[in-house]
Structure 1
Amino acid sequence: MNTLDNPEEEDQKAAEVQVSQSDTMAASSAAMDGVAAAALRSVLQRVHQAAERSGRGSNRIRVVAVSKTKPVSVIRQVYDAGHRYFGENYVQELIDKAPQLPEDIEWHFIGNLQSNKVKPLLAGVPNLAMVESVDDQKIANHLDRAVASLGRKPLKVLVQVNTSGEESKFGVEPSGCVELAKHVSMGCPSLEFCGLMTIGMLDYSSTPENFKTLSNCRSEVCKALGMPEEQCELSMGMSNDFEQAIECGSTNVRIGSTIFGAREYSKKK
C-alpha cells in the first residue's frame, strides 16, 4: 500500500522525524555545553600557568565566566563542571538568568550600570556578589541606598578606572580614582570597597601599559585609605589578554568568548 494512502503510518513517520530532530538538537546542545566545560578547564590551566610565572598561587585569582548572550543550559554545564563565578554585562539578562540557576552562584555585574536599573538588579538577583563597574559617586550613592533599603548585607564593589583614555570606555579617570574610592569606602556604609577594575585597549600591545596604570592607581588608593595592597583587588584581563593581566598582578579575570564561544547578539533580549 502506498504510504500516502495510510494516514496513521504517515503520522507515525512524522512523529519519528520530529523525535529524531529533537534528539539531534539535544545532542547538539549537549556537545556545545561540553565544549564550554572543556574550554573552562583549559582556561583554568592557563590561569594556573600564568600565576606560576608571576610567582603567585592560582587560588589567589578569581575567574569570572562572562555568559553574555549565552543560554542558561550552557551556563549550567559550566556550573556542573564546578565553576561558581559568573558575570553579566546587561541588567535584564542577569535578572532573567539568575532565578533559573543555582543560588550558590556568585554573580558579578560588569557592565555600565544606570541609576534606574540599580534597584531592579539588587532585588532581582539576591546572590549578586559584586558590582565591578562603579565609575562615579552618583551610582555609588544609588547602590548604597538600594542595598540599605533592601536590607542586604554590604555589597562588594570595584571602582572602574578608564586607564586607556578612550572615550568609548566608561570609568573614572586615573586622577580621580582616589577620591571615588574614598567616597565608596567612607561615605557608603552599605558598600564594601574591594578594589579597582579596568578594560584594556583592543590593541593588546598597549594593554600592559593600561594594567600598569591600574596597578599604580591601587598603590595611590591603598596609601590614601591605609589599606594593604594585597587586600585591594585588581580586576583586569579578558579573553585575549588575561594571561598578561595575571602576570601584571590581576586578581580577577573576566573570561567570556574563550569559555562560551562567540557571542550571539541576535539572541540578546
Structure 2
Amino acid sequence: MNDIQTNLKRIKNSIPAEVILVAVSKTKPVSDLMDAYNAGQRIFGENKIQEMAEKWEMMPKDISWHMIGHVQTNKVKYMAPFVDLIHAVDSFKLLKEIDKQAKKNNRIINCLLQIKIAEEESKFGLNEEEAINLLDNEDIKNLTNVHIQGLMGMATFTDNLQQIRDEFNKIFSFFKSLQPKYPQIKTLSTGMSSDYELAIEHGSTMVRIGSSVFGTRNYG
C-alpha cells in the first residue's frame, strides 16, 4: 500500500459512511489517480475541463467525474459526454448551456448551485435570494436534461475556526430550508482537506479532498 492508498484509507475511516468522498485530482498524473482507483476510489474531482477530458479518455469508464471549478459556458461541450456532477453552477445561462449540451449527448447532467458563503471577493457563487430566484425561474421547467441536486459552498480560507463554522452553518441552514419546497435538493458539498471535519459536523454530505489524499499539488 503506497502513500496515496494509505491516505485514502485513513480518510475513509474518519468520515461517516454516508458522506461521499470526492478525490480532488487536479494537476495530478494519471498514475496517482490509478493508485487511488486501485484502492477503491471511483469519484474524482477536477477543476479544468481539458485536463478532466484527457484523464477520462485514459482511465476506466466506471469513474464518476466531478467538475469542481468555475465553468465557462463555451467549455461545457467538452465534458458533456461524460461528466456526472458539476459543482459550481452560478447562473441560469450556465444551466441552459449544460442542458443544451446534455441533450446533444442524450444525457441528464447533475448540478449543484454554488452558494457564496466566504468573505473573499474572489469566490464565485449565488447569494440565497439569487439561488431561490433561479430555482423558481419558470424557464427552468424547460431544462429537461439537467438535474439540480443540491448546493456547494467554500468557506473562507482562514485560521478562524469559528468563522468557518459559521459559514458552514449558514449554508446548511439554507440547504435545510430549501428541502420542503425542493425535495430534489439532497447533496451539500462543503469541506476540503483543511476543513472537511468541520464541514461534516455542519451537515456536509460530500467532501472534496485533494492534498490530504494525493499530497501537496502542483498549482495549475
Q: Answer whether TM exceeds 0.5 for this pair.
A: yes
Distance in 2 separating the partners of 1:233 and 1:185? 19
Q: How far apart are the structure 2 equivalents of 1:223 and 1:155?
A: 23
Contact 1:91 1:121 in 2 (8 A): yes
In structure 2, the partner of 1:43 is 11
* One-letter amino acid of the counterpart of residue 217, structure 1: F
Q: Secondary structure at the match of 1:223?
A: coil
1:199 to 154, 158, 174: 154
- Paired with 2:64 and 2:140, the residues of 1 have a C-alpha distance of 22
Structure 1 Cα separation of the partners of residues 158 and 86 of structure 2: 26
Correspondent of 1:81 among 21, 35, 39: 39
Normalising by structure 1, what TM-score?
0.76
Matches within 5 A, 1:4-15: none
Equivalent residue pairs, number: 217
Higher helix share: 1
Structure 2: gaps of 5 or more residues: none
Within the alignment, does 1:249 sit opposite 2:207 as a pair?
no
Give yes or no for contact 1:66–1:254 (8 Å, CA) kept in 2: yes
Q: Which moved more, 1:88-97 or 1:179-188?
A: 179-188
Q: Which runs of 5+ in 1 are unaligned?
A: 1-32, 48-57
**Structure 1 residue 187, shift from structure 2 partner:** 4.2
Moved more, 216-225 or 232-241: 216-225
Deviation for aligned residue 1:181: 3.0
Matches within 5 A, 1:144-159: 144-152=99-107, 154-159=108-113
Match of 1:113 in 2: 71
1:69 aligns with 2:11: no
| 2:187 equivalent to 1:223 | no
Q: In the alignment, is the contact (CA less than 8 A) between 2:113 and 2:152 conserved in 1?
A: yes
**Pair 34,185 (structure 1): closer, same or farther in 2 beyond 3 Å:** farther
Kept in 1: contact 2:117–2:153 (CA 8 A) = yes
Residue aligned with 1:156, SS: strand
**Residues 115-138 of structure 1, C-alpha deviations (whole Å, 9 max, x = no match):** 110111213xx2x21001101111
Q: Would you identify which runs of 4 or more consecutive aligned residues in structure 1 move more than 4 Å?
A: none
Change (3 A) 1:207 1:78: same
Partner of 1:170: 124
| Higher Cα Rg, which structure | 1
What TM-score does the superposition give when structure 2 sets the normalisation length? 0.93
Task: Name the residue aligned to 2:165.
Answer: 208
Tell me how far 1:185 sits from its aligned partner: 5.9
Q: CA RMSD in A?
A: 1.7
Provide the residue aligned with 1:90 in structure 2: 48
In 2, are the aligned partners of 1:198 and 1:235 still within 8 Å (CA)?
yes
Shift of 1:255: 0.1
Pair 1:176–1:237, CA change in 2 (3 A): same
Q: Percent identity?
A: 34
| Secondary structure, counterpart of 1:171 in structure 2 | coil
For residues 79-119 of structure 1, what are the alpha-carbon distances to aligned partners after superposition, in whole Å with 9 as ceiling and x for unaligned? Answer: 00011111001111101111111100001100000011011
Q: How big is each residue's C-alpha offset from its partner over 1:54-85, in whole Å with a ceiling of 9 and x where there is no partner?
A: xxxx2311000000100000100100001111
Cα distance in structure 1, aligned partners of 2:173 and 2:132: 11
Query: What is the DSSP-based 3-state SS (H/G/I as helix, E as strand, rest coil) of the residue aligned with 1:60?
Result: coil
Contact residue 110 and residue 133 of structure 1 kept, 8 A: yes
